[in-house]
Amino acid sequence: MTRFKAVIFDLDGVITDTAHYHYLAWKRLAESVGVHFDEAFNEHLKGVDRMGSLDLILGEAARNYSAQQKLEMADAKNRHYQDLISTMSEADLLPGAVDALAAVRAAGLRIGLASVSKNAFTVLEHLGIRGRFDYVVDAATITHSKPHPEIFLTAADKLGVDPGECLGVEDAVAGVASIKRAGMYALGVGSPEVLTQADRVIPGLDQFRLEDY
């Protein structure tokens, strides 16, 4: 038995790991404008949307670019990213992901996806799991990025479930903050030393046990 009526998952770093593809695409973009980009810098982009990530990369130099130039830069990064993820398949699902989704469905709960990635639908199709979700938030319709709660509140609303009856699953600090601000129970995937706001933290979905939360 569980006290929840819905589970809302993040995508990147929870169900699949597209972080490396994002890293490669952002690194090429950053270096094209003379900005040093490494794994440590990339950590700051977790859970942040595309334009927000670009502003972080550009830093104070962002003022030197027009809105149109920024859009073109972000689009260039996205095209490279799409080329990289075009080879994804079910083999790219993280351990325990399918079993976790199956367990939630077997318990009779609703399943949502709250990813800031505008490529989420494409990734889900490549992974072969699009049909496992009752509702996938279209990131293009979200005004505020994580840690704002909008994306999780939207998922709950579309699923027809009160936020307080939702379990949110995230791997990023900003994502966990978004879940908590939405009034949901936050399950972190990763390190408890990093995801300090989470109600509980597991290393991966292979450790997901719905009855434990």
Binding residues for substrate: 10-12, 26, 45-50, 53, 77, 115-119, 146
Among 148, 144, 151, 152, which Cα is nearest to 168's?
152
Binding residues: 10-12, 26, 45-50, 53, 77, 115-119, 146, 170-171
Catalytic hit among 12, 83, 138, 199 = 12
d(CA 93, CA 140): 24
Asked whether the bond before 147 is cis by omega within 30 degrees of 0, the reply is yes
Is 212 part of the annotated catalytic residue set? Answer: no
Binding residues for Mg(2+): 10, 12, 170-171
Is 12 part of the annotated catalytic residue set? Answer: yes
d(CA 179, CA 115): 12
Catalytic hit among 10, 55, 157, 199 = 10
Written as one string, the DSSP assignment of the chain is --S-SEEEE-SBTTTB--HHHHHHHHHHHHHHTT----HHHHHTTTT--HHHHHHHHHGGGGGGS-HHHHHHHHHHHHHHHHHHHTT--GGGBPTTHHHHHHHHHHTT-EEEE----TTHHHHHHHHT-GGG-SEE--GGG-SS-TTSTHHHHHHHHHHT--GGGEEEEESSHHHHHHHHHTT-EEEEES-TTT-TTSSEEESSGGG--GGG-
Active site residues: 10, 12
